[in-house]
Amino acid sequence: MDKQSRLELLTETLAENHFKLSPVGLDFIRYALQNEESEQARLGDRDQQPVYVQNYPFELQMLPLFLSHAKSQEWGQVAVDLFSIYRKLVQDLARQDPVRLAQYFKSDCDEDLLTLFEGDTGLDYCLARGDFMSTAEGFKLLEFNVSGNLGGWGIYLFEGMYRAQPLIKRFMEGRDQTFSTYSPLNEMVTHILRVSTMYRRRLGFADPRLNVGVFVEKPERLAEAEDMIARIKRQLLSQSSLAIDFTCCTHADDLMLEEGAVFTKQGRLDSMLLFGRPQLLPEFVHQLSQQGRFPIFNTRSSTILGQKSGLSLLSEHAQSPLASDEERQLINKHLPWTRLVRPGSIVYQGVEQDLLALLLQRQDGFVIKPIDGLQGREVSVGNRLDAASWQAVVDQALARPGQYIAQELCVAERLLARNPAGAFEEHDVIWAPFVFGGQFAGSCARTSPSNNETGVINAHRGATDAITFLTA
């Protein structure tokens, strides 16, 4: 495609969308459209890069996105505020209305759900990431992911390779401006150390050196974890006076209980970062955690918040007399209407009606997702299916009451980006702010061609991970 044809792709609406994120972003996309090499732009050889980069499993958006510091902070605060409301709501229900709590969440372990919320739940310091979409109606929450092994932070390990890419390098060097990025990895480590230190001081441990355990569920990923630890020590800890060790574990038998503390052969641990499921840890580790003696990132109770059924709970809270005016405003502004799929009537847009009839009559306006789905599996977007296929999806959801949610469809403010073949076309974007212990910790982004077959924007379903540079 010649330069003029590429420039014609940048419609007035697309230009406005880029500009709202950052005026520099609009300048860059115009710059890229005028350069033929933009369609062939590639990052450098990964062979000399960290193991994590070499093994990175997802496709990358070859051209960066740009976001102003102000917009980044604004969106980050939305994620923090919504997750704070959500976390408090779940904690309150665990104490005051456990029966209702059990109607929304299910436990994947042998213990009763409510037992997991006894004592120290870990909700105050858990690691979370929101998936949001920028729409004409505002910044909309699609789901929260709550895990010790959140995806998306790794794109920032490619920062140097993006900056060295000739097209990007020339653009940046041609502007009197600083381009920066967040490092969610550094933010996560700083948060873990802060919490671990607080626990150790409270418990009266005198050892001046912290030792953080890293539990790796899949042994084949051990090399990546060790490479990540080496990076942390080289880039973060070498610039501080912090005295910290990291100990990797791949099996529950690596962990021992001695004198009321968690040990490995390398010594006592102060906390545990999970690259896997909490259920794999020995029971004594969970008991120490609930007693407030050993922080786990993330606990069994905190990971339950990652179930999409919680979005229905949060959406309904906006109509609850227990919600404050500020909470109602935030939820109604940023969370699309969401309900568990089960037989019966609901109130939608102020009118009581049958949920099944609503989903069938307004097929193009809804998405149906399993409450415990991962990697975009079984997500059905109404406007991408024919009537018979959508009927089958609704029937399947109703056959398992409470195991799926129906959520109003959000329509992204599209951006111009490169597709996997290198050509420019309109893309939808998921913006994903990290929230570590109630603090904004940077964000990542994923892009997918707007005309993709399923309408699902997920790295496991063909979306590309995009690095975002922050601008003034």
Domain ranges of the chain: 117-126+183-304, 337-408
Query: By the 8 A CB rule, do 307 and 106 touch?
Result: yes
Q: How confident is the model at residue 166 (pLDDT cuts 50, 70, 90)?
A: very high
The pLDDT, as a whole number, for residue 52 is 77
The pLDDT, as a whole number, for residue 447 is 96
- Average pLDDT of 36-59? 85
More confident residue, 457 or 311: 311
Range with the poorest average pLDDT among 29-33, 53-57, 146-150, 265-269: 53-57
Distance CA 227, CA 84 (A): 33
Residue 237: what residue type? L
Helices (H) and strands (E) in the chain, counts: 16, 21
Percentage, residues of the chain above pLDDT 70: 96
Average pLDDT, the chain: 91
Range with the poorest average pLDDT among 143-157, 290-304, 451-465: 451-465
- Average pLDDT of 188-194? 89
Distance CA 17, CA 5 (A): 20
Top mean pLDDT of 29-38, 70-79, 92-101 is at: 70-79
Query: By the 8 A CB rule, do 429 and 412 touch?
Result: yes
Pairing of strands 296-297, 271-275: parallel
Range with the poorest average pLDDT among 77-91, 202-216, 351-365, 444-458: 202-216
Question: Hey, do 117-126+183-304 and 337-408 end up sharing a CATH topology, with the first three levels equal?
Answer: no
Helix boundaries (H) for 174-273:
184-203, 222-235
The pLDDT, as a whole number, for residue 275 is 87
Range with the poorest average pLDDT among 7-11, 16-20, 107-111, 457-461: 107-111
Query: Other C-beta atoms within 10 Å of 183: how many?
Result: 18
Provide the token pair at 26.
């609009």
- Average pLDDT of 7-23? 97
The pLDDT, as a whole number, for residue 232 is 77
Pairing of strands 267-268, 271-275: unpaired
Q: How confident is the model at residue 221 (pLDDT cuts 50, 70, 90)?
A: confident
Asked if residue 135 has pLDDT above 90, the reply is yes
Distance CA 131, CA 448 (A): 14
More confident residue, 172 or 156: 172
- Cβ burial of 386 (10 Å; 0-12, 13-18, 19+) is exposed
> Tens digits of per-residue pLDDT, 398-418?
999 999 999 999 999 999 999
> Tens digits of per-residue pLDDT, 243-300?
788 999 999 999 999 989 999 999 999 999 998 889 899 999 999 999 999 999 999 9
Asked if residue 238 has pLDDT above 80, the reply is no
Considering the domain 337-408, what is its CATH architecture? 2-Layer Sandwich (3.30)
Asked if residue 301 has pLDDT above 70, the reply is yes
> Tens digits of per-residue pLDDT, 94-120?
999 988 999 999 887 766 888 889 999
Asked if residue 236 has pLDDT above 60, the reply is yes
The pLDDT, as a whole number, for residue 110 is 63
Top mean pLDDT of 81-95, 151-165, 239-253 is at: 81-95
Query: By the 8 A CB rule, do 21 and 164 touch?
Result: no
Does the domain formed by 117-126+183-304 have CATH 3.90.550?
Answer: no
What residues have CB less than 8 Å from 266, skipping those under 6 apart? 211, 245, 247
Distance CA 466, CA 181 (A): 12
Distance CA 296, CA 293 (A): 10
- Average pLDDT of 71-84? 98
